[in-house]
Amino acid sequence: MKALPKSLKNAISALQSLPGLGEKSATRIAMYLLDSPQERVKEFCDALLKMKQSIRRCRDCFHLSDDDLCPVCSDPARDPQQICVVETTSDLLSIEQADFFKGRYHVLGGTLDPINNISPEDLTIPQLLDRIKRDRVKEIIIATNPTQQGEATAHYLVEILKEFPVTVTRIGVGIPMGGDLKYIDPVTIRLALEARRSFP
């Protein structure tokens, strides 16, 4: 790094701040951008700035959006009476990649975490309850992650949803396709056994 110009070092350092990018990868990207035509670099920077300025949270589900409603909430083919509750937008995108779920989502914006002073009011739980009333939601699918905080959040949701006439379900947790039992942790095996169903 000593042999590099200061401006290039600064660019590499900025790229390294991105998740998953080490020094080698950051250097490779910086060198690629340096060798690219000025117009291409400008387009790249403009796209990042426009994304940062334009993206907001969907007024209904808190997914990312360019408009008041995200592409999922504005799709008339999606069922508004079936809501899948997730922790983050990344979780929503993972479920969407499966191309199976046809309802809508609600992004909590995290999980309950008393140690870090994250309470229900810090999440979008009140807005979820409003949606349930407004849209006469029939099913809530809780898709929080199988972590201590995710489980605590799921249990909290189950409790507060008891006063609503909705079916509450939890996504299954178990052995991944192609997984080998000898490499699976005991908690996952227990959860898979608890979630067993008739076969075929």
Both 126 and 43 in a single domain? no
Both 43 and 91 in a single domain? no
Q: Give the number of domains in the chain.
A: 2
CA 5 to chain centre: 38
Residue located via tokens 């690629």: 32
Query: How far apart are the C-alpha atoms of 144 and 134, rounded to whole Å?
Result: 23
- Of 120, 112, 160, residue with least CA distance to 140: 160
User: Is there a contact between 171 and 145 (Cβ–Cβ < 8 Å)?
Assistant: no
- 3 falls in which pLDDT band (50, 70, 90)? confident
**Based on C-alpha coordinates, what's the Rg of the chain?**
22
Both 106 and 146 in a single domain? yes
User: Is there a contact between 155 and 138 (Cβ–Cβ < 8 Å)?
Assistant: no
pLDDT per position as a tens digit, 174-199: 877 787 878 888 888 888 888 877 66
User: Helix axis angle, 125-135 relative to 148-160, nearest 10°?
Assistant: 40
pLDDT of residue 186: 86
- Of 188, 101, 111, 178, residue with least CA distance to 139: 101
Both 150 and 101 in a single domain? yes
Both 100 and 148 in a single domain? yes
Quick one: average pLDDT of 77-85? 97
pTM above 0.85, yes or no: no
Task: Tell me, yes or no, whether 121 lies in a domain.
Answer: yes
Query: How far apart are the C-alpha atoms of 115 and 126, rounded to whole Å?
Result: 21
Quick one: average pLDDT of 158-174? 92
- CATH number where 84 lies: 3.40.1360.10
Structural domain containing residue 11: 6-54
Quick one: average pLDDT of 88-104? 94
- The better pLDDT of the pair 95, 195 is held by 95
53 has pLDDT over 90: yes
Both 87 and 132 in a single domain? yes
User: Is there a contact between 141 and 83 (Cβ–Cβ < 8 Å)?
Assistant: yes
In Å, what is the CA distance from 101 to each residue of 22, 71, 155?
36, 14, 22
CB atoms within 10 A of CB 4: 14
pLDDT of residue 199: 66
